[in-house]
Amino acid sequence: MHRIFQERPEILNPVFSVLGIELPEKATVDVITTDVTETRPLERRVDTLLRIGPSDGEDFLLAIEAQERKDVKKESSWAYYIAYLQAKYGLPVLLLVVCRNAPTAKWAVGPFNCGARGWTVQQTRPMVAGPHNLPVITDARTVSEKPALAALCALAHANGPHMDAILNAMGRALEPMDGKASSYVYQFLEITLGNSPAGRKWRKIMSFVNYFPGQGTLLEKALLEGEARGEARGILRVLEVRGLEISDEVREHITACADLDNLNDWLERAGTVSRAEDLFVEAEEEA
């Protein structure tokens, strides 16, 4: 869930809005290294780290963590991240935790105190975005206007009662959208929803009966690309199991191919060729 903030920073303003924090529309957003490793061999990494340059004030760092479940170790590691980043960059630090379920979101708000004998020396209070405050978006027009936010909200509410309406709206909005933007949303949801009920619903929506085959629609392209990737993985797997050496050129030739007829032919021949390069000999001779 944190990656979408790197790749679609336009969702920062609406997410901050649901948290009751003002962020001007005009602000620079730069992705910086997430490494907060100490000199000793102990590696620590924030999921996503952004430097925000608002037009109405000083820059600050925004550390973003995607949290799937309660983890008491985070209560101290989040405090460490904040202190370390403030010391390293000399800038104020905010922590945003994005969650997919309400119990995790409720726990993540803290506050998490560090102290003893009634004295609190440090307190960590993350900002939390999740199903309790991200909007339920069920109309395609809003999805088209704010696709990145809609994708994040769909993920947050994937286990809720509005799942079908949310995903149907996402599906209706994808077709007329810009190809690059819609492809990102499609892949983001496919990966993050996984094999959950919502994920299976999403794949069903995106693989519906195409009434305009061969017209290059987004959904047709997405389906064909998915089939091609699956065929390519199958070919490479057969070659690997047979112990054949696969050069970088052969691997690239297979994975770059989008012609299902060629891929099906290569898959059949992968079980009999003596060298991986021989997959293409017959096709080249015919050409």
Lowest mean pLDDT among 19-28, 36-45, 154-163, 247-256: 36-45
Q: Is residue 215 part of a domain?
A: no
Domain boundary among 99, 129, 159: 129
19/74 same-domain check: yes
62/149 same-domain check: no
Beta bridge partners of 115: 120
C-beta of residue 71 within 8 angstroms of C-beta of residue 83: no
Q: How many structural domains does the chain have?
A: 3
65/15 same-domain check: yes
Domain boundary among 174, 208, 242: 208
* Residue appearing with tokens 């309660």: 70
Domain boundary among 75, 95, 129: 129
pTM over the 0.85 mark: no
225/266 same-domain check: yes
167/83 same-domain check: no
Mean pLDDT of 212-225: 53
8/123 same-domain check: yes
Q: Is residue 260 part of a domain?
A: yes
Residues 6+ apart with CB under 8 A from 2: 47, 48, 64, 65, 66, 98
179/123 same-domain check: no
Q: Is residue 134 part of a domain?
A: no
- What digits encode the pLDDT tens for the residues 39-73? 555 556 788 999 999 888 899 999 999 999 999 99
113/204 same-domain check: no
Which amino acid, residue 167? L
Q: Is residue 135 part of a domain?
A: no
65/125 same-domain check: yes
Q: Which residue has the higher pLDDT, 61 or 218?
A: 61
C-beta of residue 82 within 8 angstroms of C-beta of residue 19: no
Q: Is residue 257 part of a domain?
A: yes
- What digits encode the pLDDT tens for the residues 65-119? 999 999 999 999 999 999 999 999 999 999 999 999 899 999 999 999 988 778 8
Q: Is residue 159 part of a domain?
A: yes
- Domain span including residue 235: 220-286
119/144 same-domain check: no
Two structure tokens written together for 223: 């389906």
Beta bridge partners of 42: none
* Residue appearing with tokens 């070919």: 235
120/9 same-domain check: yes
> What is the domain-level CATH number for residue 63?
3.40.1350
168/224 same-domain check: no
